[in-house]
């Protein structure tokens, strides 16, 4: 169970994060923003390739999610301390096309330099000591820099930075991550409907009857209509579950229910005792299943919508009645993944769809450092008709990061305490 749970956690979490980051990646490029790196995984790099689009595509050793690095986004800056030894690769025109900070020889003809100053954003030049003589070289607009860990990425001139994109380009880039999570959830719910052979029809009072249940013994058959339970009229699944909850709320023993149902064109009335299951009572019926192709497709949207409503309701409860026990972090997700792995593919797909929606909605919360916080800054900029100072935006983002780190540590510690103690 441990290995399968871990693999399920890695795959589910990885898919959700990579799909989220791809949303940012795609719309950043459409908005003219240079994506310096698209990484799958975290930690040390094990593979890297620079595409024709200038993006470094990397795979990193820890298979936990991924990220994108946009030019000029947040704290994505190039730092070279005075005196740092580098090697420069020049083109035929004498312009620098690669700055190597890694210390490993990549180009045998590279020119060694001890850097005294550089500007890769505006003037595009680098100055330093070459054979004890100070020299300045022009840097090509599409030059690359080999970072200390060996990752080669493009430099970030001002014209391809996040701040230089239009306000609407930045807004859709920030929204695209959560948007991709919503799309993923709908598609996975659709796939789940096809895997299960259909979708539950919760808007009907036609029900499937479970074999061996008390209501089956009383003569109710599959697809019969339940019209009334005691004095409660039944039009759909929500009516039935609500009626049962109200009738049995204060019952210590299973009460006798009066059930009116319709078989074909004939109305019948029976008495049934529901079966106790923990703190609830079960009648022994479930919603009918719609098996048509379009039923399954539409079912993906309706399942995503109903799940969204439940998540928003839970979020409202957390905001107005905060309790850290209502939150869950990576440890809780791992625990859910282990349970889903035991239950099979449908449970894993359901978890993937639900978590994707959760992460999409969570990222839209207007906290600095989350996508929702960035969207609020975009809207404020549109209203003010002038951008915030880059330093101000950085400080706001860092404050959000601090809040998220503290919250994540608290939630993770709480998850560990609940799981092991």
pLDDT per position as a tens digit, 358-380: 999 999 988 887 899 889 989 98
Neighbours of 3 (CB within 10 A): 9
**CA proximity to 222, closest of 201, 234, 207:** 207
pTM: 0.81
Q: What is the pLDDT of residue 379?
A: 92
pLDDT at 3 exceeding the cut of 90: no
pLDDT at 249: 80
Q: Does residue 414 or residue 43 have the better pLDDT?
A: 43
Structure confidence by residue, pLDDT tens digits, 320-339: 877 777 777 777 777 778 88
Cβ pair 81, 53 in contact under 8 A: no
The mean-pLDDT minimum among 62-71, 88-97, 165-174 falls in: 62-71
What are the angstrom distances between the C-alpha of 368 and each of 2, 7, 153, 174? Answer: 36, 32, 27, 12
| pLDDT band at 75; cut points 50, 70, 90 | low
3-state secondary structure of 264: coil
Q: What percent of the chain has pLDDT over 70?
A: 98
Q: For 216-250, b where at least 16 C-beta lie within 10 A, e where not — what string?
A: bebebeeebbbbbbeeeebeebebbeebbeebbee
Lowest mean pLDDT among 62-66, 110-114, 130-134: 62-66
Average pLDDT for 233-254: 85
Query: In 3D, which of 308, 291, 98, 320 has the Cα closest to residue 208?
Result: 291
Residue 357: closest CA among 317, 315, 397: 315
Give the C-alpha separation, 77 to 71, whole Å. 8
Class of domain 199-290: mainly beta
C-alpha angle with apex 74: 39 to 102, nearest 5 degrees?
55
Q: Is the pLDDT of residue 1 over 60?
A: no
User: How many whole angstroms separate alpha carbon 19 and alpha carbon 15?
Assistant: 6
Structure tokens given for 276? 């106790």
- The mean pLDDT value of the chain amounts to 88
Look at residue 143 and tell me whether its pLDDT is greater than 90: yes
Active-site choice (21, 37, 152, 393): 21
Residues 51-56: contacts with CB under 8 Å, at least 24 apart? 53/29, 54/142, 54/154, 55/25, 55/29, 55/154, 56/151, 56/152, 56/153, 56/154
Q: Determine the average pLDDT of the residues in 283-302.
A: 90
Tell me the pLDDT band of 187, cut-offs 50, 70 and 90. very high
Domain boundaries, the chain: 85-155, 199-290, 293-420
Question: In the structure, how many helices (H) and strands (E) does the chain have?
Answer: 9, 17
In this prediction, what percent of the chain has a pLDDT beyond 90?
44
Please say if 21 is a catalytic residue: yes
Q: Would you place residue 159 in the very low, low, confident or very high pLDDT band (cuts 50, 70, 90)? A: very high
């Amino acid at each position: 169970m441990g290995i399968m749970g871990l693999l399920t956690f890695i795959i589910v979490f990885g898919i959700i994060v990579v799909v989220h980051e791809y949303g940012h990646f795609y719309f950043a490029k459409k908005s003219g923003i240079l994506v310096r790196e698209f990484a799958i995984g975290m930690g040390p790099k094990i593979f890297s390739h620079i595409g024709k689009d200038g993006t470094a595509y990397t795979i990193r050793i820890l298979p936990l999610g991924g990220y994108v690095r946009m030019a000029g986004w947040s704290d994505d800056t190039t730092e070279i301390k005075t005196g740092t030894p580098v090697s420069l690769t020049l083109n035929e025109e004498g312009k620098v096309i690669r700055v190597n900070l890694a210390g490993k020889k990549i180009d045998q003809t590279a020119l060694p330099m001890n850097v005294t100053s550089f500007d890769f954003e505006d003037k595009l030049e680098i100055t330093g000591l070459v054979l004890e003589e100070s020299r300045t070289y022009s840097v090509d607009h599409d030059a690359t820099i080999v970072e200390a860990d060996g990752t080669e990425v493009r430099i970030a001139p001002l014209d391809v930075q996040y701040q230089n994109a239009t306000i609407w380009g930045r807004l859709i880039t920030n929204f695209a991550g959560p948007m991709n999570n919503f799309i993923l959830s709908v598609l996975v719910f659709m796939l789940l409907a096809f895997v299960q052979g259909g979708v539950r029809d919760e808007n009907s009072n036609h029900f499937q009857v479970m074999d061996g249940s008390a209501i089956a013994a009383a003569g109710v058959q599959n697809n019969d209509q339940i019209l009334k339970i005691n004095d409660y009229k039944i039009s759909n699944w929500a009516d039935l579950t609500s009626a049962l909850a109200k009738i049995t709320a204060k019952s210590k023993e299973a009460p006798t229910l009066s059930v009116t149902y319709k078989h074909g064109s004939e109305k019948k009335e029976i008495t049934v005792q529901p079966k106790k299951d923990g703190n609830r009572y079960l009648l022994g019926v479930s919603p009918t299943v719609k098996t048509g192709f379009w039923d399954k497709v539409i079912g993906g949207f309706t399942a995503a919508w109903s799940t969204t409503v439940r998540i928003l309701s839970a979020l409202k409860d957390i905001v107005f009645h905060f309790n850290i026990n209502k939150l869950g972090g990576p440890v809780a997700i791992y625990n859910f993944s282990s349970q889903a792995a035991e239950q099979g593919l449908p449970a894993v797909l359901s978890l993937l769809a639900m978590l994707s929606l959760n992460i999409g909605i969570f990222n839209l919360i207007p906290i600095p450092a989350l996508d929702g916080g960035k969207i609020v800054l975009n809207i404020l900029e549109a209203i003010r008709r002038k951008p915030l100072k880059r330093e101000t935006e950085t400080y706001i983002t860092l404050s959000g990061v601090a809040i998220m780190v503290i919250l994540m540590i608290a939630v993770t510690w709480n998850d560990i305490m609940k799981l092991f103690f």
